[in-house]
Structure 1
Amino acid sequence: MTLSARLQRLIPTREQLQAGRFTRWLAPWLGQRRLWRLSRHGVALGMAIGIFFGLLIPIAQIPASAAVAIVLRANLPAAMGSTLVTNPLTFGPIYYLAYQAGSRIVGKPVPNAEAEIARITEELEAEERVTGEPPSPWQRLQALGKPLIVGLAVFAVIGGLLTYALVSGGWWLWARWRRRRRRLQPS
């Protein structure tokens, strides 16, 4: 089975996306063939969009990447699938590194980020005991403040650009290798 056939099996169908709870609102645009075609530019752009939104925002990543992929005519499944770069296993390390990088960029390097994050978490827990309501994800992000947001923005831009370059370059090398292999095969 070829790589293209394997990828096609993993890609959700238009019907599945049109029936999906979070993607139903995209139904009028899902008929565009360009959104589903496996092309070098479309897949690279779709993955770059997905990585960008996967790193930049903690919630509603898939709908945001789908909307931008439709506008930019990128590969929709690649955009939606690559948002999963942040998942329960990678979320913590990515946000920790983004906080560290953001604090350096902002000019407030934190010598002991673990202690700073623990202090912020204790403040949020104390507020929860007073109000009786757990803090929302947005309140948690605000408590970490500017360093985290700056770090995530930098990671998102660099990650998106790097993803586009790597996928496009890798696709080009793979196509070149296949053409060369075909030329060298005896007829």
Structure 2
Amino acid sequence: MPRRFLQRYMPKPETLRRQRSLRFMSRLIADPGLWILSRRSVANAFSVGLFSAMLPIPFQMVVAAFGAWLLRCNLPLSVGLVWITNPLTMPLIFYGNYRLGAWLMQTPAREAPERVSTRWIAEQMADLLPVLAVGSVASAIIAGILGNVVIRLIWRWQVSRSWKRRNLQRRIRRGQLEK
């Protein structure tokens, strides 16, 4: 299923190795085990990528690359999934993480003033950071597990659908199925 679809959009290792900015990672990029597209490697890459995306930290892509290396899963997918939290979606996702953390810690969520400023955020950071951290870790774990399970189910469904389609085509070719 998804193997052909994913291969169509994935970058080639040689292309990445030639890029000047990625030369320091050339050994990691050259590892063929991190480019395999199997059900396990793709599902684990989704776990790593989604987990890293939910964390409010700088260098999420480095965390995802290290996680892909540790779990021996697909490197480009895990790093690419970090971009779920891009500059447009980041405020909404981290606000949701903050609300989840407030709910888990059973503390009232702070209401934002009419005009949010960096000064207000800096003043509130001591109170906001622990709640955001708890909510982010919780949503990272949930997103990682859900991503893994959903990808495994989709992969399995696609493979069984493909088997059924091939079996039907074989039966038609053999003339066993009446039209």
Alignment TM-score, normalising by the size of structure 2: 0.83
Measure the CA separation in 2 of the matches of 1:170 and 1:117. Answer: 44
Which residue pairs with 2:99 in the alignment? Answer: 100
Specify the alignment match of 1:131 in structure 2.
none
Q: Is the 8 A contact 1:22 1:63 kept in 2?
A: no
State the Cα distance separating 1:22 from its structure 2 match.
5.5
The verdict on how the C-alpha distance between 1:171 and 1:85 changes in structure 2, with shifts beyond 3 A counting, is same
Counting only pairs closer than 5 Å after superposition, residues 1-187 of structure 1 correspond to structure 2 as 4-20=3-19, 23-110=22-109, 113-115=111-113, 118=116, 121-124=118-121, 144-185=128-169, 186-187=172-173
Distance 2:10 2:139 in 1: 27
Aligned positions, number: 171
Which 5+ residue runs of structure 2 have no aligned equivalent? 174-179
Structure 1: give runs of 5+ residues left out of the alignment. Answer: 128-139
Q: Over the residues paired in the alignment, what is the CA RMSD in angstroms?
A: 2.6
Contact 1:48 1:164 in 2 (8 A): yes
How far apart are the structure 1 equivalents of 2:102 and 2:4?
45
- Cα contact 1:69–1:75 (8 A) shared by 2: yes
Using a 3 Å threshold, how does the CA distance of structure 1 residues 117 and 14 change in structure 2: closer, same or farther?
A: farther
TM-score (norm 1): 0.80
- Identity, % of aligned pairs? 31
Cα distance change of structure 1 residues 143 and 27 upon mapping to structure 2, 3 Å threshold: farther
Contact 1:42 1:75 in 2 (8 A): yes
